[in-house]
Structure 1
Amino acid sequence: MPNLTDTSQNIYRVRVVVPVHLYDSFDYKLSLDQYQQAQVGARVAVSFGRQNVVGIIVEKLPLDAPINPNFQLKNITELLDDQAILDDNVLSLLTWSAQYYQFPIGEVAQTALPTLLRQGKPYNLLARIWRVLDLHADDKIKRSIKQQDAYKILKLHPTGTSENILNLSGIETATLKALEKKEIIRFELEPQNFKPEPVQLAQMPLTANEDQKKAIQGILKAQKKYQAFLLDGLTGSGKTEVYLQVMQEVLKQGKQVLVLVPEIGLTPQTISRFQSRFHCNIALLHSGLNDSKRLQAWQHAQTGKASIVLGTRSAIYTPMPNLGLIILDEEHDLSFKQQEGFRYHARDVALYRAHLENCPIILGSATPSIDSYHLVEQNKLTKLELNQRAGTALMPKMHLIDLKIAKKDHGLSQQLIEEIKKRLHKKEQVLIFLNRRGYAPVLICESCGWQANCPNCDAHFTVHLKPYQHLHCHHCGTIQRIPDACPSCQQENTFKPIGMGTAKVEESLNELFPDYDVLRVDRDSTSRVGSWQKIYDKIQKAEPTILLGTQMLAKGHHFPYVTLVAILDIDSGLLSVDFRATERTAQLIIQVAGRAGRGEHKGDVYLQTLKPDHPLLNTLINNDYRAFAKQTLKDRQLALLPPCRYAILIRAESKSQDENLSFLQQMNENLREVSGDLIDIWGPIPAPMERKAGRYQSHVVLLSLDRAKMHYYIRTWWQNLLHAKPSNMKITIDIDPQELN
């Protein structure tokens, strides 16, 4: 047995993953005292090359582990944590993710840490605890409803409450600071209390219909074991109530629940539903939080203080010691797939995490992905259906408007304008959907036909008029002012915006319906903190309003007063080169349509199209997404397309397309030599958008029926590819790609 006190003969080592783009972990030496204190899953400060970085210990090496004599071991600079902050299951999940998605483990591990911990900041940050100073200050805040609301809540907590909890209750930090300035409240910095709190039921569950009961009972049978469910429910069929009643039973057992939503816009609505049902600590994790609040929420999850963790994509890597249920809402949504850097899919990672944690997982959607239907066929998902809308609400009726023959005004058919008028006169709300932000997608010169194209991409500039007139490329971000004269023919005042973006439709709607509010929801109008929440609050009032927006409006929102939905331009989704385009289009139509008629009044949906005879539209006209999905899966099986074969997309990017194609062709030949006919290789070919941000892009698509063997061959080939590529070329690998652009 080795003598641990004989430091002259023994080298104490730990294996550390560091945030660099290398696929290995690295050994560091440390003293006996450090070795005894070091914990797997804890952070360490180390020197790597010429930089100091924060790494994570993934293994304590035994004293008899072999040492590479050609490698000079460095000392650990500092142990940053006295205990593990990442548990074994999360470390296993990170290791699996790095291997499956072919990405450096050190960079993957960073996904599990909030920014302040990545930077090496201490774990035990102090929390702001706000307390009331003046118990008779009502007269000082008569003019501010926000300050009155905050004051009332704070008076309910005589010993004080944390800023994080107050923010979750809808009280903004700016409101607290305003009260502090008036010397009504003050804060003190105190150590955080991570003790778990009991969960209390704040509101009785709704009465479940038969479909909901079957779903709830089926899921609850799988408590404390792994089973994956696809909750396939029509829009408005009460999927959230199923989630809540299953969560209630899991929370009763002292377990935690992780809920993932595709975008920040869904979190205010979801957290409101959770808070009205449960009195418990809820941690919110998304990119809209500042660093300190994100760390606090992460710590509440990691210590078990938070009973419910609600987050977007990266929250799947959050440590949770008592995880008992995972819910992925709107599972079909493309936002769950990371499209840059570490290209993981949160849905697939969530399934593997549920397996590691030995707990059930629910994938919910009104329009499940074709991938999930395929998993149902393979008996890897258990399908549960909700076939009727909750309460008395009925499915909306869908109508097609043929733009080739319709009379139009401001780009809207006369029939649609009349229908909008009827709804507004009845004090109801209208939702107009157009998946194109900005004022217009193209600017042309009417004199010579010149078009405003991005100099760096194979794309048109989009015209924006606010906050000032400019041209904006939504692909590379280039912004230019609109020229005074045409660059081609030098004529002035000949520019004409072609097509419609949300800003132009907003202008048209204000002209057509000047007596009603038009609320625009897109990335431009909701960029300020809290702006989406203000719009959402307005929509929840029973006042006649026109709601206009992009995909942000299609994702699971409950708008009880919307009775008419209009989809202005869906045709582009029917003409794409991507084989998944019709699936995305079908999902979008059904999801947007599902915002209508969710309250007491019947809903209608109008689709303006130049292709009223398209088979996809005529299938969906009967709200029959499942029939479309069934046929689409058959078509994919015949064509041997994903998910019926497994895919990997290799992207090459440089300033020379010839260099891209030549290099990829050579690497293809190397892959064929080792894999034979196991892998079907498509390409290399130029990408659908050949030039982006001044660089040319090429693709190779790899397909195989045997995922395990394909990954076996790809692992070594990909490492060789990275070493062999020219220094000026960037190559990336996308496992299970969702887009081919």
Structure 2
Amino acid sequence: MNGPLTRVRVAVAAPVDGTFDYVVPSEAEAACCVPGGRVEVPFGAGRRMGVVVEQLGDEECAVETLKEVLRILDDRPALGAAELRLGAWLASYYHAPLGEVLALMLPSALRDGGTLDVPVAMGWRLAEGAPAVLPRAPRQNAALQRLREAGGALPDEALRAHAAALRTLAARGWVERVEVAAGRGREEPHVPAHDVVLNAAQVEAHRAVRDGLGSFAPFLLYGITGSGKTEVFLAAMDDVLAEGGQVLVLVPEIALTPQLVARFSARLGGGLVVFHSGMTDRARRDAWLMARDGRVRVVLGTRSAVFIPLPRLGLIVVDEEHDASYKQQEGMRYHARDVAVVRASQCGVPIVLGSATPSLETLHNARQGRYRLLRLDARAAGAVPPRLELLDVRRRPMREGLSAPLIDRMRGHLMAGGQVLLFLNRRGYAPALTCHACGHVEHCRQCSAPMIVHRAHGRLVCHHCGAERPLPAHCSACGSAELEMQGVGTERLEMALQGLFPEFPIERIDRDTTRRKGALEGKLARARSGEARILLGTQMLAKGHDFPGVTLAVVLDADRGLFSSDFRAPERLVQLIVQVAGRAGRAERPGEVLIQTHQPDHPLLQALLRGGFDACAEALLHERRLAALPPFAHLALLRAEARGAERARALLERVAAWLAEIRAGVVAHGPATAPLERRAGRFRYQLLLSAPRRDQLHPLLDRLLSELRTWPEGRGVRWSLDVDPQDMG
């Protein structure tokens, strides 16, 4: 049957390149089948969700030549023109199928066909007769104060840290459940805060950002820890919100969202939603829809929040821009910071990248004039930066990773009323279980890595694939009972600290102790209040938190990053040390930072000691230039894994041979085994591609991927492409 029919071009959520044309069954349905709308279409032997990217109009065509759209899911576009434009860039730059990219830009509830109906937001407000202060109820008083400061109702997300206290208050009739006017951000003009006094450097930084409003203007806000970067963010956000605009704020970790939500809500009022992986699918969908419909002023979120539609976007802020958490390590391996810069450029809005330890790539962009550099070199409120000291532990006796001078220094700070923070980026009790009789180390059966001892649960755990087994009583190789737990993790260190300092409460913060909902917030609250005197943890503890009582911060194992095969390891080590150091001496008391090391003469540590992060960055950039590494080159990492090692290696050898044959100016390093050769039962190889310019690398990647998909060596091999890789493992 022939006749005038409307064709649409659909990006199907499937791992295939290109778009596919379909016929819209009727004229009435064609009116709804517009770019950005979701449709369900037949694909292969089944059906898939897709996004319409183009309506091709009425044409004479035979029905049998094209399949029909099965179902139109939206009566209005789910993704607007700005999001489609960003999706096209993502697909091109990261060499990913457009359909999968557009699906990734939607919350999972919408990828699964959920409705675009806008939810009703729920929250809390003070009830009549609510008391000013409750005796001996600090958490309930904190919840009451939050609502009092807001001057009205606040949504649930802004009060997550007070959930338990609010339930208690509600039972006593002092707070009540209400619908939150999600459209308030549009109807009520935002009034900027006038009682916040900025210092001269903050005023200059704020003025620069304010002058850039209304056009694309990238800034690097480079400020030492405690210098008041957040106040500059808030001042710029005030300007945007006062004009009716919206702001996107990205943070690297879920752990940072509760304190920022509280701070932003107190300063900016309502109209804020959060967006991160710890939320339920429904909560993420609701936040996404409210932002898309312009019903909220501010979106505060982790990596995936960079895709949230904001029709009145006026400013993007990326806090802790250097953090590796912004890089997605599965599927489409995008970098949220880089995507945010492109989005700001496409939308014509300023973007502020904030950090005390900028990535070398961002610092280089600022030095080249691509970003405007804004410096904050002094701590706010006159606080003095902490004193940095290397503690040489060579030939010193160690007690569970603690040297005697460190123990003495800790005791001095604790007796003087200070808090002590210990950073050890290794969770569990011990990193290896070794047989004293034969030397055998208990390895994961699926990975080429030792099992980690988790003594409290009596388990051996693989931190790569998640495999577990009971802690054995005898060696699996020789049967000996002489098993030794070698090395120190946070669990073991906590037990040692309890023995050394029984009179001082300890709070351990790592992934193992914060799995339960609300556990992290509670631990951070005890740390900030001073109830916990010794703080011990991994990176979760080191990033972005304000602990005013900490007077001594300690990096226990600084040497691991000095001799890594990953060229980024020294940069990350220095960033971590500086971030940990930033937790000390943020109030009126001066702080100290100790770095335990067996390498006190290492040039990088000496540079840090004498010239701070600037000196380290200068030295590392010099090394990168000599080695032709980012930011002086552009990389792509091709990974391959298979049940048999030869299959994975053979595919990458074919790629290397193809590259040598075409001589495209791209250098191939490898193939070589991955640093973790076997994971989850699969052997892993990788091939690193390097080019001095992006316009050399990306056209070649397009050609390569087109060829690679046809090669027989690819059968039975999982392969992936990582553009601008951050993790070389």
TM superposition score normalised by structure 2: 0.93
Helix, strand or coil at the partner of 1:661? helix
Q: How does 1:157-176 map to 2 (within 5 A)?
A: 165-170=155-160
State the shift of 1:656 in Å.
2.2
State the shift of 1:85 in Å.
2.2
Q: Note if 1:635 corresponds to 2:623.
A: yes
State the shift of 1:406 in Å.
2.9
CA gap of 1:73–1:278, structure 2 versus 1, over 3 A, is: same
In the alignment, residue 32 of structure 2 is paired with which amino acid? Answer: Q
Q: Note if 1:336 corresponds to 2:309.
A: no
In the alignment, residue 104 of structure 1 is paired with which amino acid? Answer: P
State the shift of 1:178 in Å.
7.0
Q: In 1, distance between residues paired with 2:126 and 2:423? A: 49
Match of 1:123 in 2: 116
CA gap of 1:137–1:688, structure 2 versus 1, over 3 A, is: closer
For residue 564 of structure 1, the aligned residue among 544, 552, 573 is: 552
For residue 258 of structure 2, the aligned residue among 268, 278, 281 is: 268
Q: In 1, distance between residues paired with 2:554 and 2:124? A: 49
Q: In 2, distance between residues paired with 1:660 and 1:262? A: 33
State the shift of 1:72 in Å.
3.9
CA gap of 1:569–1:184, structure 2 versus 1, over 3 A, is: closer
Match of 1:74 in 2: 67
Identity %: 39
**Do the aligned residues in 1 keep the contact of 2:400 with 2:488 (CA within 8 Å)?**
no
For residue 17 of structure 1, the aligned residue among 3, 11, 14 is: 11
Q: In 2, distance between residues paired with 1:415 and 1:737? A: 40
Q: In 1, distance between residues paired with 2:20 and 2:184? A: 33
Match of 2:78 in 1: 85
**Do the aligned residues in 1 keep the contact of 2:254 with 2:278 (CA within 8 Å)?**
yes
Give deviations 1:131-155, integer Å, cap 9, x for gaps. 89996899xx999876787789899
Q: Note if 1:502 corresponds to 2:490.
A: yes
Q: In 2, distance between residues paired with 1:199 and 1:469? A: 58
Size of the aligned set, in residue pairs, is 725
**Do the aligned residues in 2 keep the contact of 1:437 with 1:522 (CA within 8 Å)?**
yes
Match of 1:714 in 2: 701
In the alignment, residue 646 of structure 2 is paired with which amino acid? Answer: D
Q: In 1, distance between residues paired with 2:627 and 2:509? A: 39
For residue 103 of structure 1, the aligned residue among 96, 102, 106 is: 96
Match of 2:685 in 1: 698
Match of 2:20 in 1: 26
State the shift of 1:209 in Å.
2.2
Match of 2:42 in 1: 47
Helix, strand or coil at the partner of 1:62? strand
RMSD over aligned Cα atoms: 2.8
For residue 674 of structure 2, the aligned residue among 678, 687, 709 is: 687
Match of 2:574 in 1: 586
Helix, strand or coil at the partner of 2:202? helix
In the alignment, residue 654 of structure 1 is paired with which amino acid? Answer: A
Match of 2:57 in 1: 62
Match of 1:3 in 2: none
Helix, strand or coil at the partner of 2:239? helix
The 10-residue stretch of structure 1 (695-704 or 717-726) with the greater mean CA deviation from structure 2: 717-726
Q: In 2, distance between residues paired with 1:151 and 1:595? A: 29
For residue 490 of structure 1, the aligned residue among 479, 489, 497 is: 479
Give deviations 1:497-545, integer Å, cap 9, x for gaps. 1110000011111111111111111111111111111111112214461
Q: In 2, distance between residues paired with 1:617 and 1:145? A: 43
CA gap of 1:441–1:40, structure 2 versus 1, over 3 A, is: same
Q: In 2, distance between residues paired with 1:152 and 1:211? A: 31
Q: In 2, distance between residues paired with 1:599 and 1:183? A: 38
CA gap of 1:615–1:129, structure 2 versus 1, over 3 A, is: closer
CA gap of 1:133–1:416, structure 2 versus 1, over 3 A, is: closer
Helix, strand or coil at the partner of 1:391? helix
State the shift of 1:156 in Å.
11
State the shift of 1:32 in Å.
0.9
Q: In 2, distance between residues paired with 1:156 and 1:632? A: 46
Match of 2:235 in 1: 245
CA gap of 1:171–1:575, structure 2 versus 1, over 3 A, is: closer
Give deviations 1:3-37, integer Å, cap 9, x for gaps. xxxx9532211112222111122222111111122
CA gap of 1:149–1:522, structure 2 versus 1, over 3 A, is: closer
Helix, strand or coil at the partner of 1:540? helix
Q: In 2, distance between residues paired with 1:549 and 1:310? A: 25
Q: Note if 1:403 corresponds to 2:403.
A: no
TM superposition score normalised by structure 1: 0.92
**Do the aligned residues in 1 keep the contact of 2:249 with 2:300 (CA within 8 Å)?**
yes
Helix, strand or coil at the partner of 1:617? helix
Q: In 1, distance between residues paired with 2:325 and 2:125? A: 42
Match of 1:228 in 2: 218
**Do the aligned residues in 2 keep the contact of 1:129 with 1:161 (CA within 8 Å)?**
no
In the alignment, residue 507 of structure 2 is paired with which amino acid? Answer: L
Q: In 2, distance between residues paired with 1:179 and 1:205? A: 31
CA gap of 1:111–1:172, structure 2 versus 1, over 3 A, is: farther
Structure 1 segments unaligned to the other structure (5+ residues)? 1-6
Q: How does 1:727-738 map to 2 (within 5 A)?
A: 727-738=715-726
Q: Note if 1:478 corresponds to 2:478.
A: no
Helix, strand or coil at the partner of 2:338? helix
The 10-residue stretch of structure 1 (444-453 or 727-736) with the greater mean CA deviation from structure 2: 444-453
Helix, strand or coil at the partner of 1:624? helix
Q: How does 1:518-597 map to 2 (within 5 A)?
A: 518-543=506-531, 545-597=533-585
Helix, strand or coil at the partner of 1:219? helix
The 10-residue stretch of structure 1 (650-659 or 559-568) with the greater mean CA deviation from structure 2: 650-659
